[in-house]
Structure 1
């Protein structure tokens, strides 16, 4: 087991994630290995939101993610929809059932449960089935349902009596290769309990953190990585408490908060808990698995999402942070850029304090590790400490909106809002009907085809004590472009930089760029700027600098202006990798580029340093210590080493976790979460549950699936 662990020329990574739970026979080896390597942070990887029932047997050769296997075996621990009843007896051999109402059912997985004489669910008599078709009765109420029996880990098919047997559809997670088989775990605090009185949260928390307790076998493990299938899907109204009727998903999200709280209690303050970067749970989550760089299938296109999220999270979070980034999926065109895609990721990882992906092996994979170990010098953590947040060289170019608020305001038009200057800040205030979005339209000229970036220093303004976040919807641009901007988020707690990056915009006069804000509270700006330049990052460390260019074109940077106090720049030195003869010819341009960028030579003209398209450059420079040059922020990211990460949290948490939000008011009615106010309501449209997304024509989507893209444009539905 030890020989199989990743090591690069004697250096183990700083952070490692493993699917540990399926091989308890290895736990002794893992614990011993961690004792021998106390600086290694190893995380156990889990899927939290959904999965297969425990013990499900799949056909041999089925393509699926092993993380989809859960510890859930009690049928009441899955989220189900509103139930109907059998109108005729169902025998074990039948593949059709009659129901009193088809309205609550749809094609896909379903749960059949018998009831006791008192009308309670008899959880010992259940079966999972798959609804294949629905044939409505002529009276428009009942229906004949064609089903696949004993589906997806179900017990054997059985007899069920009419009248006192309930049938409910089950929403399923579409983030899987197994259609209809990944069901949502019911984290509501009042979900049905098994015969031992346990909720789904009880089961999951014990399975996840139990082995990390003293005597559990994994006492030296560094924490938990909730990677695949994060808790980010809003399921909508469903039967969360098992009474056959539907409730708001607010009680589900309250249960998710309780789940995170209990995980943090079980892990203690020193360990890491990674999840998606959900600001509702800042006091519990202290890590993120990016599942890629921008997202799993996108190593570069929407990377501004990662830049925005990482910078803002580090400002808001009271805990040190460990973040994982890696190149996961490449298109055919991106595969030809295999080495530079990893170098691009290494650059972003260094600038944002994320753990970079360390590939094992020689050949091309050896070239992906160059920057992490200073080339032939083979030094981990060679950059030293970060000296502040990334610099944005684009901001050195003219602001296309003008200089000063008086000039900038002339190139902006609010819609359903008005602009008011308050001291050095500009405030967008609601004005007019509360329909659609409060919008700020920016206008500027583009004289030629170019990248451009919009920078905001912005926060939401309200009087709420709790953290509240809101989205800036996907901006629209009035000219054609190669890749467009994506939505951003702001909070009510602190000003933060938010960027929107557009590659290859066509020239035009009075180009329009709209910023549409969710909710109606004031929006405060300390600055608004548009620059006709790529959103490059320039990041400074004690022993060198890192430059990242996300553009589809090469970019020339002036280091004397960006870093006026640094000098002595030298490229890293690389050599031909071992196994060069085994590298496919199609990758030889990547080998040549890697050796050219990392040629070991001094930078002769630092005022004109070229960074190739979708690429990064790492340079050594005259040493400046962090004490000599204090960082601009105490939360500045650390540079990567082999796969660097922030250290575990201190022994005492710096901020007391908040109590779990109470979901019911004094009358017992469920309240809306401040951070979970949904713009889309579930409707009934024909055979489907649907969301009305506020468009002229209602767009429908099956239960448990995300809204269509055309719908997302108007409201965040998924």
Structure 2
């Protein structure tokens, strides 16, 4: 009873299923569409950037050209299946920027992913080789009706199950089990359906035999009778007779992400390094890497694509049940039928396995651009140096007040500095709960300014109005009404954080590390020493001497304090360069979490974040509107390994920042108050002019007028201007 073609039609919770297509069918459709002349007349090319000498994806303007480096997000898929645009109109819609990203496969949803998606995307790349074409792909799991034939049952992640207490005939739908509490009728992110369940044989060693499996779907639980009712032989498997003692395990699932009547639960990949292996000795990460490489390598359906972004690709396993998401800490990671195994002596085997999968895929696709979610340090990826990152929402999906401004800059900046030339990092302008038409142009400008300060790419889920266009783009991305891509060119220098020009409230004590500074650090079971290291520059070394913490899925955090800064009141910017010894039993590249709070005299203060690793990283922590008086610093650092602070300064000013480019300048004001930039001093004899915007966006700001000798930027706003 090995897995069959899991793209075959099967029973579903609702019978109004959308069209399901196999990869073979997609490939045939793609070929026929091109041969049959799906694409008609040549669309206008006024939006094209100068064509580079193309070699690998890294040569494309999106990845190595001038700034802004921008692309259209998943509207590229929606306007095919959701709106049904003819190709010529669709193509013209997506020419204005450096590329597109979207779904062409049905691993997550099929309601607006049709055979036309891959046809349109491939044709777009063929006609416009200077544009980047990227796949959006679910990184945590897949719809069991999509392409699971390359996997075996043990590659999926399950909760611990139970055994049948009676034999089960091939036609039976009611199964007597040892413990009905192992199952739920509230699976998924909406909590509106029963578990998907795998039935397996049990081997002589008492462990599940994942090579012999049937997939079923739970439709009812009778706890009093110790029975469950299921639909049999689903997702490409056959209903067969099972002896008493067969093992039944519920899948760890996410989703569904599409309309309830058109979508399945997604089966979670078991990325754990302890994942069961198939007959070929492959774990889930091996199988998935080979599966994707077959699509992108020569002869594959997505051979022309430049890369992919793994959405919801996490370092911790997450499951959706009872209408919400939570870590799947008790999942059966090693497939032995028992809960747990995800963590061994407190080490996250799922996270390490997800990194190993990324490394395998990178080795198989050395020239493709590969990205993953990196916005949430608690759950998202930590594949620095292997992946690029998407920041979905800036500073986050819910932070419209920019409280976490500096945490977001640190988070993305760390990815940028750790990336090689096959990585791409970008900000996605969106906020949770908003419609695509809800646009605040101050947010847009501040999001874009942050991406330019960081040297990152930019995309959006909003739909900016523009005369004659279905979908924008934003004026700032194309030099207003001049319609010029990558118009800012290359940066001329690093970003300038103006607060750092203000006096250091620590008077250099966090640079020289004199004894009066070092002695103010305190922490339980910790020592703090001044050290010259391997050079002549002093530094602070923080060392933990306590007992080893008990192994736990939640890592131990060192906590220590320093006090205090004599703060005049108002905004405070802390600038810190730090390193950290890698976490024991983890790859050295995954980084450690560091949180820093500044607590004022009234007990107020935010907790801000940065990553640290063995290489020095300059992080900034921006606190707004603190009360006058003493300000105490509170540190929390992941792990018990050594921490080194090379430099720490404090400045009583807003974190206003600008960055100069060949073609213009970007300004950012994340503070709660208007801030003035002295242009005469910063840009002497350099005329700066506002863009001439289009009438349907923000023509009051983008009015085409020269800036003059100063710029007053409103609170929580940004501005991108051109050189005269």
TM-score by length of 1: 0.69
* Pair 184,330 (structure 1): closer, same or farther in 2 beyond 3 Å: closer
- Which residue does 1:490 correspond to in 2? 612
Question: 1:107, 1:133 within 8 Å by CA — same for their partners in 2?
Answer: no
User: Is 2:592 the partner of 1:470?
Assistant: yes
Match of 1:111 among 186, 197, 205: 197
* Pair 255,433 (structure 1): closer, same or farther in 2 beyond 3 Å: closer
Question: 1:482, 1:504 within 8 Å by CA — same for their partners in 2?
Answer: no
In 2, the alpha carbon distance for the partners of 1:484 and 1:70 equals 45
More deviation, 537-546/428-437? 428-437
- Which residue does 1:204 correspond to in 2? 288
SS in 2 for 1:457: strand
SS in 2 for 1:433: coil
Match of 2:337 among 235, 244, 247: 244
- Which residue does 1:262 correspond to in 2? 360
In 1, the alpha carbon distance for the partners of 2:284 and 2:337 equals 18
Question: 1:411, 1:444 within 8 Å by CA — same for their partners in 2?
Answer: no
Shift of 1:523: 2.1
- Which residue does 1:603 correspond to in 2? 707
User: Is 2:642 the partner of 1:522?
Assistant: yes
In 2, the alpha carbon distance for the partners of 1:276 and 1:346 equals 19
- Pairs aligned (count): 578
* Pair 280,600 (structure 1): closer, same or farther in 2 beyond 3 Å: closer
- Which residue does 1:343 correspond to in 2? 445
User: Is 2:406 the partner of 1:307?
Assistant: no
In 1, the alpha carbon distance for the partners of 2:492 and 2:440 equals 30
In 2, the alpha carbon distance for the partners of 1:180 and 1:398 equals 59
Shift of 1:442: 4.1
User: Is 2:578 the partner of 1:458?
Assistant: yes
SS in 2 for 1:81: coil
Question: 2:669, 2:713 within 8 Å by CA — same for their partners in 1?
Answer: yes
- Which residue does 2:541 correspond to in 1? 428
CA deviation map 1:180-233 (0-9, x unaligned): 933321234664456787653354334423232222243321112212444553
In 1, the alpha carbon distance for the partners of 2:142 and 2:382 equals 23
- Which residue does 1:144 correspond to in 2? 226
Correspondences of 1:57-456 after superposition (within 5 Å): 74-89=152-167, 97-99=176-178, 108=187, 109=195, 111-115=197-201, 118=204, 121=209, 123-130=211-218, 144=226, 149=231, 160-162=242-244, 164-173=245-254, 181-188=265-272, 191-192=275-276, 199-233=283-317, 235-236=328-329, 238-245=331-338, 246-249=340-343, 250-268=348-366, 270-277=367-374, 281-285=383-387, 287-298=388-399, 300-329=402-431, 338-357=440-459, 359=463, 361-362=465-466, 369-404=474-509, 405-406=513-514, 409=517, 412-416=520-524, 417-423=526-532, 424-430=537-543, 432-434=545-547, 437-448=558-569, 450-456=570-576
In 2, the alpha carbon distance for the partners of 1:53 and 1:232 equals 21
Question: 2:214, 2:233 within 8 Å by CA — same for their partners in 1?
Answer: no
SS in 2 for 1:329: coil
CA deviation map 1:404-437 (0-9, x unaligned): 3449717943213333223433313225534762
In 1, the alpha carbon distance for the partners of 2:545 and 2:334 equals 41
TM-score by length of 2: 0.69
In 2, the alpha carbon distance for the partners of 1:511 and 1:248 equals 41
Shift of 1:104: 10
- Which residue does 2:320 correspond to in 1? none
Match of 2:633 among 485, 510, 513: 513
Question: 2:355, 2:383 within 8 Å by CA — same for their partners in 1?
Answer: yes
* Pair 333,175 (structure 1): closer, same or farther in 2 beyond 3 Å: closer
Shift of 1:28: 5.2
* Pair 194,549 (structure 1): closer, same or farther in 2 beyond 3 Å: same
* Pair 218,522 (structure 1): closer, same or farther in 2 beyond 3 Å: closer
SS in 2 for 1:516: strand
Shift of 1:490: 0.4
User: Is 2:689 the partner of 1:571?
Assistant: yes
Question: 2:582, 2:588 within 8 Å by CA — same for their partners in 1?
Answer: no
In 1, the alpha carbon distance for the partners of 2:567 and 2:96 equals 49
* Pair 72,509 (structure 1): closer, same or farther in 2 beyond 3 Å: farther
Shift of 1:552: 3.0
* Pair 432,33 (structure 1): closer, same or farther in 2 beyond 3 Å: closer
Q: Which has the higher contact order (CA 8 A, sep 6+)?
A: 1
* Pair 616,196 (structure 1): closer, same or farther in 2 beyond 3 Å: same
CA RMSD of aligned residues (A): 4.1
SS in 2 for 1:82: coil
Question: 2:451, 2:458 within 8 Å by CA — same for their partners in 1?
Answer: yes
In 1, the alpha carbon distance for the partners of 2:718 and 2:130 equals 28
In 2, the alpha carbon distance for the partners of 1:543 and 1:313 equals 26
SS in 2 for 1:453: strand
CA deviation map 1:95-138 (0-9, x unaligned): 573316968999753634242675662755534444977959xx
In 1, the alpha carbon distance for the partners of 2:117 and 2:236 equals 30
Long gaps (5+) in structure 1: 56-68, 137-142, 581-590, 623-718
* Pair 523,388 (structure 1): closer, same or farther in 2 beyond 3 Å: farther
Question: 1:425, 1:524 within 8 Å by CA — same for their partners in 2?
Answer: no
More deviation, 40-49/337-346? 337-346
In 2, the alpha carbon distance for the partners of 1:481 and 1:16 equals 47
In 2, the alpha carbon distance for the partners of 1:298 and 1:42 equals 30
SS in 1 for 2:564: strand
* Pair 126,574 (structure 1): closer, same or farther in 2 beyond 3 Å: same
- Which residue does 2:52 correspond to in 1? none
